[in-house]
Amino acid sequence: MSVLLAISMMLSQAMDPIPPPYAPPADEVATEEAPPEQAPEPEPLPSPRAYLYAEYPGLARKLDCMIQRESSWNPVARSGPYVGLAQFDYPTWLETPTGKSGASRTDPYASIDAMAWGTQHLGYGRWPRTSRLC
């Protein structure tokens, strides 16, 4: 009987696919966390003037001149109730899609978009002096 037991143990060891030392259970193995993937850096915005010429090439020269006269390209310029690059008053700003969307009058890109829209849909009369000089 002891001979059979010895043979049985030898056979079971020979057939064991994982030799000692045995691997620990999977839930006991510490896993290394992969480093979080970093989002790619966003493309930098062009300067407001470059944006004007890229987005509105047909209007750019006239709007550039008007913005220069209205605010000297200072996005936080203020003259009484008029604010931003294009010197919008609040009621006129709210007539534009940009203003209706909640954008700030001091955002230079929003101001350019609103001025381009405004000159085409509200007319140059919203900027009576500078539109005549440009």
Mean pLDDT score, 18-37: 64
Using DSSP, how many helices (H) and how many strands (E) does the chain show? 7, 2
DSSP category for residue 45: P
Q: pLDDT tens, 43-91?
A: 888 999 999 999 999 999 999 999 999 999 999 999 999 999 999 999 9
Q: Is the pTM of this model over 0.75?
A: no
Residue 115 pLDDT greater than 90, yes or no: yes
Q: Which domains does the chain have, with CATH numbers?
A: 48-133 (1.10.530.10)
